[in-house]
Amino acid sequence: MATAPPLRALPLFLLLLSAAFSFHVAAAHGVRSGGHGLGVNYGRVADDIPSPRRSVELLRAAGAGSVKIYDANPGVLRALAGTRWPVSIMVPNEIIPDMAASPAAADRWVAKNLVPYYPATRVKFLLVGNEILSDYSIANSTWPRLVPAMENIHLSLRKRGISSVKVGTTLAMDALADGAFPRPPSAAAFRADIADAVVRPLLHFLNGTNSYYFVDAYPYFVWAGNNLTVPLDYALFQGGGHTRYVDPVTGLTYTNLLDEMLDAVTIAMAKLGYGRVKLAVAETGWPNGCDYDQIGGNVHNAAIYNRNLAARMANNPGTPLRPGAKMPVFVFSLYNEDLKGGPGTERHWGLYYANGTAVYPIDLTGRRPLWSYPPLPAPENNTPYKGPIWCVLSAAAGEKLNETAVGNALTYACGQGNGTCDAIQPGKKCYLPNTTVAHASYAFNSYWQQFRKIGATCYFNNLAEQTIKDPSHGSCKFRGSLDS
């Protein structure tokens, strides 16, 4: 990688040092997150999770310091009343254009979704949309209306004399030109399609209202995509002195991956003239499970990441660029959410299973010594699985068979591919046994093997699962992931 010319590197270095110094001074004068432990994202895309009141008990048991939800659910907000936790609520992406077009619409939303619960429920952040700059299908309809919607929400709050609620929005790391892993961090910059059109006005708003830039930062995905070059210990806050990275422009030394990612965002903001805007981590964490064709999603790594994150933020907050600066940090998520689509990691981020039992012990306050936790199960998938994989009807779906749901999924699989279900037609090799269960497994696998390289997942509305046991039987052969 070519070294930046000295005359260009020096102004950037001075700019970053200035931002770091000013932020460090601000931190020393009381810039703090509201609670005593990490915040938790309370998502509810799952079957049969505990009630909001029971969820509050589980949050308390884990040592949560704040709570973030993805809507403004009345039952959840009522359950959080009196807890004194700072609470973050969210405006749905789809109504952002209406909010931007009409101050009255924004005020009606505030009147319905915030006012009845505030201040008994201590709403601290009102987040307008979730990762909207990652969704290119709404680039024309919603991106340019994000900041106007935030301004109208802020106007409504001011009109009502509510000054303690900060307005923001959550953005993924793909708002940066090089995504989640710009290395060195000093090279980070916002994408050209949004830098001036959306991000600069957003930063101007956040700076003027003393609010935060909320970023979803997941070292897991960076490590999983670069596991041959990025050490796992570095991603899990276990690098210490033997695993580190030095930015060749700033000279800053990094001992973990999250710090790199967060400083990259700060540097990108500085390049737009807003290096002093405060940073908050809207989502971070590590999956406690994953599919066979994924890597490193297990209980061991999830516990290590979140325990180390809690200890780090309690004892040594900030980043190399902003040492000592405390920031709101929210772990994802409270529960494993089984109704989320996509690959297996999407359904395995929880501190708790859906039945309310802990996936692993954790103290989100960071006060519990790491050595005091009981032993964790050994990780078994920190390197890629090299054997064949199949996609079949899940055991749970087979035991509690919903003929309609499985039939619809089977019809979808058969209707998408090129000869996907030929083998289960009458008289063909896989027609027998002529059951919904057997035909669904064949169809799911046939579809997945045909399309997995272009993003298809073994999910089918929570009816399918991956297996490493060959489901072939008799003359009926199921194609495996290693077959050409």
Run of H or E including 89:
strand 87-91
Q: Is 43 helix (H, G, I), strand (E, B) or coil?
A: coil
Give residue 277's pLDDT: 98
pLDDT band, residue 12 (cuts 50/70/90): low
Give residue 239's pLDDT: 78
Give residue 275's pLDDT: 96
CA-based nearest residue to 114, from 126, 105, 104 = 126
Give residue 39's pLDDT: 98
Sign of the dihedral defined by the CA atoms of residues 99, 105, 106, 112, in that order: negative
Give residue-wise pLDDT tens across range 208-222.
Answer: 999 999 999 999 999
Prior bond of 184 cis (ω within 30°):
yes
From the number of C-beta atoms within 10 Å of its C-beta (0-12, 13-18, 19+), residue 215 rates as buried
Q: Which of 151, 283, 346, 465 is catalytic?
A: 283
Mean pLDDT of the residues in the chain: 92
Q: How far apart are CA 475 and CA 463, in angstroms?
A: 25
Sign of the dihedral defined by the CA atoms of residues 287, 282, 68, 92, in that order: negative
Count Cβ neighbours within 10 Å for each residue of 137-164 and write b for 16 or more, e otherwise: ebeeebbebbbbbbbbbbebbeeeebee
- pLDDT above 70: residue 18: no
Prior bond of 119 cis (ω within 30°):
yes
Q: Which residues are paired to 393 by β-bridges?
A: 464
In the structure encoding, which two tokens stand for residue 420, read together?
A: 């996907």
Give residue 244's pLDDT: 93
- pLDDT above 90: residue 9: no
- A 10 A CB-CB count for 348 gives 25
Q: How far apart are CA 401 and CA 310, in angstroms?
A: 42
∠ CA 248-250-251, nearest 5°, is 65
Question: For tokens 């003393």, what's the residue?
Answer: 210
Q: Are 327 and 279 in contact (CB under 8 A)?
A: yes
Between 9 and 159, residue with greater pLDDT: 159
Give residue 242's pLDDT: 78
Asked if 283 is an active-site residue, the reply is yes
Give residue-wise pLDDT tens across range 225-238.
Answer: 999 999 999 999 99
Q: What is the mean pLDDT of residues 331-358?
A: 96
Give residue-wise pLDDT tens across range 278-301.
Answer: 999 999 999 999 999 999 999 999
Give residue 32's pLDDT: 33
Q: How far apart are CA 412 and CA 447, in angstroms?
A: 9
Give residue 93's pLDDT: 98
Give residue 408's pLDDT: 95
Please list, in sequence order, all residues whose beta carbon lies within 8 angstroms of the beta carbon of residue 140, skipping any fewer than 6 positions away. Answer: none
Q: Are 148 and 100 in contact (CB under 8 A)?
A: yes
Instruction: Please spell the DSSP secondary structure of 284-315, one letter per residue.
Output: E---S---TTS-S-SHHHHHHHHHHHHHHHHH
Give residue 14's pLDDT: 45
Give residue 20's pLDDT: 47
Give residue 416's pLDDT: 87
194-198, 322-326, 347-351: least confident range: 322-326
Give residue 68's pLDDT: 98
Cα-atom radius of gyration of the chain, to the nearest Å?
A: 24
- pLDDT above 60: residue 25: no
Please list, in sequence order, all residues whose beta carbon lies within 8 angstroms of the beta carbon of residue 403, skipping any fewer than 6 positions away. Answer: 436
Give residue-wise pLDDT tens across range 236-245.
Answer: 999 776 789 9
For helices 103-113 and 146-159, angle between their N-to-C axes, nearest 10 degrees: 60
Give residue-wise pLDDT tens across range 55-114.
Answer: 999 999 999 999 999 999 999 999 999 999 999 999 999 999 999 999 999 999 999 999
Asked if 380 is an active-site residue, the reply is no
Q: What is the mean pLDDT of residues 320-347?
A: 96
Q: Which of 131, 260, 337, 346 is catalytic?
A: 131
CA-based nearest residue to 235, from 260, 215, 253 = 260
Sign of the dihedral defined by the CA atoms of residues 230, 231, 236, 237, in that order: negative
Q: How far apart are CA 12 and CA 270, in angstroms?
A: 9
Instruction: Please spell the DSSP secondary structure of 11-28, one letter per residue.
Output: HHHHHHHHHHHHHHHHHH
Q: What is the mean pLDDT of residues 268-274?
A: 98
Instruction: Please spell the DSSP secondary structure of 93-151, one letter per residue.
Output: GGGHHHHHH-HHHHHHHHHHHTTTTTTTS-EEEEEEEESGGG-GGGTTTTGGGHHHHHH
Q: Which amino acid is at 349?
A: W
Q: Please state, in angstroms and as integers, the Cα–Cα distance from residue 377 to each residue in 287, 372, 467, following that order.
A: 14, 15, 21
4-18, 154-168, 393-407: least confident range: 4-18
Give residue-wise pLDDT tens across range 378-392.
Answer: 999 999 999 999 999
CA-based nearest residue to 300, from 356, 365, 234, 375 = 375
Please list, in sequence order, all residues whose beta carbon lies within 8 angstroms of the beta carbon of residue 7, skipping any fewer than 6 positions away. Answer: none
Question: For tokens 């591919």, what's the residue?
Answer: 417
Give residue 4's pLDDT: 32
Give residue 341's pLDDT: 93
In the structure encoding, which two tokens stand for residue 105, read together?
A: 């619409």
- State what percent of residues in the chain have pLDDT above 90: 88
Q: Which amino acid is at 427?
A: G
Give residue 21's pLDDT: 42
For helices 436-451 and 403-416, angle between their N-to-C axes, nearest 10 degrees: 40
Give residue-wise pLDDT tens across range 123-175.
Answer: 999 999 999 999 999 999 999 999 999 999 999 999 999 999 999 999 999 99
In the structure encoding, which two tokens stand for residue 48, read together?
A: 């049969």
Q: Are 336 and 347 in contact (CB under 8 A)?
A: yes
Give residue 484's pLDDT: 58
- pLDDT above 80: residue 26: no
Between 15 and 338, residue with greater pLDDT: 338
